[in-house]
Structure 1
Amino acid sequence: MISTPEVVVVVVTHNSALDLDPLLDSLPAALGSVVAEVVVVDNGSTDGTADLARARADCLVVSQANRGYAAGINAGADAVPGAGLVLVLNPDARLAPHAVELMVEALKRTGAGIVAPRVVDEQGRLAWSLRRAPTLGRATGLGFTGWAAVSEHITDPRAYVVEHPVDWALGAVLLVDRTCHDALGGWDESFFLYSEETDLCLRAADAGWRTVYTPHAEVMHAGGGSGRTPRTHAMQIVNRVRLYARRHRRPASAVYYALVVASELSWLARGHQESRASLAALLRPGRRPAELGCPPALVPR
């Protein structure tokens, strides 16, 4: 254990054996002069991920049952309570040299509660990692137009050139001020998977903490490291409705729900077969993933 690290780096894994070593190997150069403790929280892997992590000398391993991404983050942050900053990383991320140093510098300079870096894909192409807050217009499924009124994804390249506040950002790589983390009670574990980063950034804004994007720090994110299935797609869509419903009154939430159903129907008509599972979960409360613990109401909360 490193005494009084400035940053606790939390990597939440689930069957991530192929990704973990390259991520951890990229950390020293990314940290630079930042003193950090690395915690790998393994959520019930069956592919030897935890054993692989334990074989290394550069990380602490916390093994637990799979209680979801947010629960893993909270467990990792709790493992090193003295660290003033919490860096959350997906195992399929790779950090460029000095990336963490630059994120820490941006957080301190701007007074932000959360900092998001520039994200690129495996080919080095810019990823649309910045998002707008959910609205009724953005539930229509018309995001492919790129119009701000109907799209959560920010696809204007100019938004990725300058440092600026954003509503929320991709949760694969986020640096969170510990005071902000603690004030929010950590990440909301009820989401299990998907929407937890949206919830965190929006709750942070409610409490007066900004989320700031910095283009100076770069991270490669492969995406899909834990796999993509109809079940996980259903989680994503149900959680999208839950997030909105928790933040708005029932009439608006009912409209949002109906728009999401219509959007998923349109995706199914265009051949997106995973939407069968999301529609079943939306329309039949008993078909919702048990991990979400949803009450038996038509509009999930």
Structure 2
Amino acid sequence: MRKVSVVILNWNGAEMLRTFLPSVVKYTNPELAEVCVADNGSTDNSVDIVRDEFPSVRLISFKENYGFAEGYNKVMDNVATDYVVLLNSDVEVTEGWIEPILSYMESHKDVAACQPKILNYHDKKKFEYAGASGGYIDKYGYPFCRGRVFDSLETDNGQYDTPADIFWASGAAMFVRRDVYVAVGGLDPKFFAHMEEIDLCWRLLSRGYRLVCIPESKVYHVGGATLKKENPKKTYLNFRNNLLMMYKNLPSDELRKVMIVRCFLDYLAVVFYILKFDFSNASAVVKARKDYSFMRKDFKSLRDENLRQTKWSKLKFRYDFSLILQSKIFGKTTYSRLVK
């Protein structure tokens, strides 16, 4: 019986499906996993491509674009396996990528989610931005990885090839227990896109589960395929959703102090963009803060529920330092220098 559903959420990604789906079909053991494409109301020929060119792939069709978060929430109602892989449409997988993670999760029942080692598709010796070899955050909500600190990407020399407990698993290639995903509420659809996987992982950790990176499994990710890194919309969603995530999950004794510092750091980012004459991204940060203030009241009940369900408020892999200070001022631009 198949234990895993590998699900690629697609929206108008016909060419990416043609490019990357073949590796998923080739290297996914059909005895262990089914390969699915969940189409988010595409208006291109994505659906026809899956039906005509990939007959072994199961197609799940939605009539509209639900975004990354709600799209995957709806996927859970359409699969029945123990594990689901949230796989971006711009990921090339490698031989044997399923087996080591499935084996680890089968033998460690306290692990709710895992990710493989994620390398850069265009420079396969480098780690990729969105996940690298496992993710963490600093005290003020800034994410970083084994292999990536802000825009500094390390060369993969095997330095992070040991399995490691992490704070967040990348949504580019996340293995998750389906029943646990549903029980904790899944990805937050109000986020639409960006930061939603870190928010989910925070809930999983605080409720007593572990998250692990298994580098024996390896994939290559293009990254930025939907929105380029400096796109103002991406800047807006990253800042807004990061603030909402912090509000939803921070312990009460930390919330006010941390958010005061975040306000200062966010407006420092505005000044940074202005000095680069990047007024679009500066405006995106200002709008993100304004909309966060407006939306916060809608997240009060979710915050209350998270605090009620929390078993561990002091999470080990939310590090008690400022990533900006350590990396930009003290020059610590690798994980191994940040965390000794």
Task: Give the distance between the partners of 1:174 and 1:281, measured in 2 at CA.
Answer: 30
Alignment match, 1:288 = none
Cα displacement (A) at 1:297: 5.8
Matched, 1:179 2:179: yes
In structure 2, what is the Cα distance between the partners aligned to 1:24 and 1:147?
26
1:154/1:54 CA distance change after superposition, 3 Å: same
Alpha-carbon distance change, 18 to 169 in structure 1, aligned in 2, over 3 angstroms: same
Deviates more, 1:83-92 or 1:154-163: 154-163
Matched, 1:221 2:221: yes
- Matched residue, 1:59: 58
Partner of 1:20: 17
Structure 1 residue 160: Cα displacement: 1.9
Aligned length: 282
Instruction: Indicate if the aligned counterparts of 2:10 and 2:38 stay in contact, CA closer than 8 A.
Output: yes
Say if 1:241 and 1:257, in contact at 8 Å, map to a contact too. no
User: In structure 2, what is the equivalent of residue 32 of structure 1?
Assistant: 29
State the partner residue of 2:94: 96
State the Cα deviation string for residues 171-229 of structure 1 (Å, max 9, x = none). 10010012321221222211100011101111110111111001100001011221333
Q: Distance in 1 between matches of 2:202 and 2:249?
A: 10
Change (3 A) 1:48 1:173: same
Post-superposition CA distance 1:66-114 (Å, at most 9, x none) = 221011111222111x200011100000100110122211222333111
Written as runs of structure 1 = structure 2, the 5 A alignment for 1:1-301 is 5-32=2-29, 34-55=31-52, 56-57=54-55, 58-80=57-79, 82-111=80-109, 112-122=111-121, 123-128=123-128, 129=132, 130-136=134-140, 138=142, 160-228=160-228, 229-248=231-250, 249-270=255-276, 272=278, 274-285=280-291, 296=294
Give the alignment's Cα RMSD to 1 decimal. Answer: 3.0
Secondary structure of the residue aligned to 2:15 is helix
* Percentage of identical aligned residues: 24
Give me the whole-angstrom Cα distance separating, in 2, the residues matched to 1:38 and 1:274.
39
Distance in 2 between residues matched to 1:300 and 1:185, nearest whole Å: 16
TM-score, normalised on structure 2? 0.73
Residue 28 of structure 1: how far off its partner (Å): 3.4
> Is the 2:76–2:182 Cα contact (8 Å) retained in structure 1?
no
Q: Distance in 2 between matches of 1:33 and 1:8?
A: 10
Q: State the Cα deviation string for residues 104-143 of structure 1 (Å, max 9, x = none).
A: 112223331111101111221232523212422849xxx8
Task: Report the Cα distance in structure 1 between the residues aligned to 2:6 and 2:67, rounded to whole angstroms.
Answer: 18
**Residue 335 of structure 2 aligns with which residue?**
none
Contact 1:163 1:214 (C-alpha < 8 Å) held by counterparts? yes
Q: Which amino acid aligns with 2:102?
A: V
Q: What is the CA–CA distance in structure 1 between the aligned matches of 2:9 and 2:257, rounded to whole Å?
A: 37
Offset of residue 159 of structure 1: 5.8
* Matched residue SS, 1:185: coil
TM-score normalised by the chain length of structure 1 = 0.82
Displacement of 1:152 in angstroms is 11
Counterpart-to-counterpart distance in 1, 2:163 and 2:151: 19
Distance change >3 Å, CA 268–CA 107, structure 1 → 2: farther
Amino acid at match of 2:49: L
Q: How far apart in 1 are the matches of 2:70 and 2:213? A: 25
**Counterpart AA for 2:83:** L
Separation in structure 1 between the aligned mates of residue 276 and residue 260 of structure 2, nearest angstrom: 25
Residue 237 of structure 1, CA deviation? 1.4
Amino acid paired to 2:285 = L
Separation in structure 1 between the aligned mates of residue 283 and residue 66 of structure 2, nearest angstrom? 21
